Structures are given as C-alpha cells and as structure tokens.
Amino acid sequence: MHTKHGIRRNFARRAATYDAHARVQRLMADELLRLIGDAVTQAQKILEIGCGTGYLTRALRCLNPQAWLVAVDLDGRLIRTARNKLNGDHRTTWLVADGETMTRGAFNLIISNSTFQWFCQPGETLKTCAERLTPGGTLAFAAMGPRTFHELGASLKIAEAGRASPVDIPAAGFLGRDAWEDLLKQAGFVEVCTAGRLLVLDFPSVRDFLKSIQATGATNPHPRPFSSRVFQAMLAAYQERFAKNGSIPASYELIWALARK
C-alpha cells in the first residue's frame, strides 16, 4: 500500500478517539503558538497543513478572527470533524488535499502541528512552502523526531533478534532537528530557528501505551503482522528493560521550527 494511503487511513479511523488521547499533540501546538508570537495575529492569510480534528485550527481562529484561513488534510472525515469544531466559520476554507503537493495560494503564515514528520518528500515540500509564502512570511511547524518511542523500537529489536529482516518502527525514520534546519536553509528560508525537547510520559503498562498510540492514529502506515510470540517477547522486553516504579516510560522527541522567507 502507498505510504500516504496508510497515513490517511490510520488517522481517519481514529477521528473519534484522537482528541481524548492527543495530549502530546496539544502540548506541541500550544508551544508552537507561544513561539510564533505576533505572526499569527498579524497574518491576513494562513495555511494550516494537516489540520486533523481541528485543535490548532480553532486556536488560530480564536487568536485571529479576521484572517482568511485555509485548512488542509488528507482525509475528509477529519476535515468534517474540524469543521464542526469551528461552527460554520465563514472565513475558513476546508480542503481535502495532500499538503505536500498543493501549489495554489499565497500566505503570510504556513503552520502545521505534528504532521511534517509524516512527509514523504520533506525537502521538496519545504521548497513548495517557500514558494507559497509572501515575502517576509513565516513557516512554523512542530514535528516529532527520531527518538520518539525509542523504547518501543529497542524492545521490538530484542523480540525480533535473529529474524532475517528486522524492521525499524516508523518513528526511527523521522527527521531530527538538525536535518530540518538544513532542509529549511536549503529551501531558501532565513532566520531559521528550532527548539527541541525529549518528553517522557509514564503509562501503567506497555499495552496501555500501545492503545494510546493507536487511539491517535500515529501507527505504522505499512502495518506488519506480528506473530503472538514476537508481540509477547516485545512486551516482556519493554517491561524488563524500561519499567520503573510500577510504570513504563515512553519518549516523545518534540521539535519546533520557525523560519522566514
């Protein structure tokens, strides 16, 4: 299956459970808005890529009631959920589209939360973003980095030891902070500024952690069937290697990036 179909399907089928479990994504969005400062309130045209169920979209609308807002997502069900949150807002255009390839419009601000890590051609997409910004316009995004869920990746490696072709978890392939900085500069952005943080959350059990990832749709776009033996070995390895004081930790590498055209 094509990667993008897998990404769309994973998030679309969690449209109803996403909000209740997306506390990390909300934290990322809140910090992104804090870092951007005036660029939101001063923008007349804003493009949001990967609006999902609309948490950031609603926050943008509250901060700037006048701007023309274009909210894009791969999936129509997610767009409908976001649209309901904004209650018939007439200054928002909703688009079911691939934010990596859509090329129309000129914006003062392009913004995205917890979506850029899923891009298939991030370098090209940053160049497209630069083309769609007005001079002096801002690109601002928050994304997850490659140390996200590293405990899960390590436990899976232990469980699959000896297997002919062990495969990394998708997060291991996410771009890191330095890679994003390089790509932003290569795309012609100036005043590139990034920040990073490793957030570690505790869960009562590995199964609770896995359920919470599933509920947000942040799962493998190319799902691999695990044998029950590998799955049980992964649970045991996670527990043995990482459990502390009756809970298990799960890391989220968070990256924020701001850049100007």
* Piece of 33-41, 50-58, 196-204, 237-245 that binds ligand SAM (CB under 6 A): 50-58
Residue 181 interacts with ligand SAM (CB under 6 A)?
no
Distance CA 80, CA 82 (A): 5
Nearer to ligand SAM among residue 72 and residue 233 (C-beta): 72
Structural tokens at position 194 = 């990034």
Nearer to ligand SAM among residue 55 and residue 242 (C-beta): 55
Distance CA 159, CA 178 (A): 31
Residue 170 interacts with ligand SAM (CB under 6 A)?
no
Closest CA to 107 of 70, 73, 144, 53: 70
Q: Of 39, 43, 45, 50, which lies in the binding site for ligand SAM, with binding defined by CB under 6 A?
A: 50
Question: Which residues 84-113 are close enough to bind ligand SAM by CB under 6 A?
Answer: 98-100, 113
Residue 122 interacts with ligand SAM (CB under 6 A)?
no
Residue 46 interacts with ligand SAM (CB under 6 A)?
no
Give me the phi and psi of 3, to 5 degrees please. Answer: -55, -45
Closest CA to 69 of 46, 97, 36, 43: 46
Structural tokens at position 183 = 């790509």
Residue 149 interacts with ligand SAM (CB under 6 A)?
no
Supply the minimum distance, in Å, between the C-beta of residue 118 and ligand SAM: 4
Q: Are strands 190-203 and 133-144 parallel, antiparallel or unpaired?
A: unpaired
Residue 145 interacts with ligand SAM (CB under 6 A)?
no
Residue 115 interacts with ligand SAM (CB under 6 A)?
yes
Nearer to ligand SAM among residue 131 and residue 191 (C-beta): 131
Render the burial of 47-75: b for 16+ CB within 10 Å, e for the rest. Answer: bbbbbbbbbbbbbbbeebeebbbbbbbbb
Binding mask 212-251 for ligand SAM (x = CB under 6 A): ------x---------------------------------
Nearer to ligand SAM among residue 112 and residue 159 (C-beta): 112
Sequence-ordered alpha helix ranges (H) in 111-205: 122-132, 150-159, 177-186
* Piece of 21-29, 150-158, 168-176, 189-197 that binds ligand SAM (CB under 6 A): 21-29
Structural tokens at position 247 = 């809970």
Task: Give the number of other CB atoms < 10 A from CB of residue 256.
Answer: 22
Nearer to ligand SAM among residue 29 and residue 259 (C-beta): 29
Residue 139 interacts with ligand SAM (CB under 6 A)?
no
Contacts (Cβ under 8 Å, ≥6 apart) of 260: 136, 137, 138, 139, 189, 190, 191
Q: Cα–chain-centroid distance for residue 246?
A: 29
Supply the minimum distance, in Å, between the C-beta of residue 132 and ligand SAM: 14
Structural tokens at position 77 = 């069900």
Contact positions vs ligand SAM (CB under 6 A): 7-8, 11, 22, 25, 29, 49-52, 55-56, 72-75, 78, 98-100, 113-115, 118, 218
